Amino acid sequence: QVQRVESGGGLVQAGGSLRLSCAASGRTVSTADIAWSRQAPGKERKFVASSNRGGGNTIDVDSVKGRFTISRDNAKNTVYLQMNSLIPDDTAVYFCAARIPGTLSWVYWGQGTQVTVSS
Rounded CA-CA distance 71/88 in Å is: 23
DSSP 5-61: -EE--EEEETT--EEEEE--TT--GGGSEEEEEEE-TTS--EEEEEE-TTS-EEE--
What are the Cα distances from residue 53, in Å, to 48, 49, 71, 91? 17, 14, 11, 28
Residues lower than pLDDT 70 in the chain: 1-4, 25
At 16-45, the pLDDT tens digits run 999 999 987 677 788 889 999 999 999 999
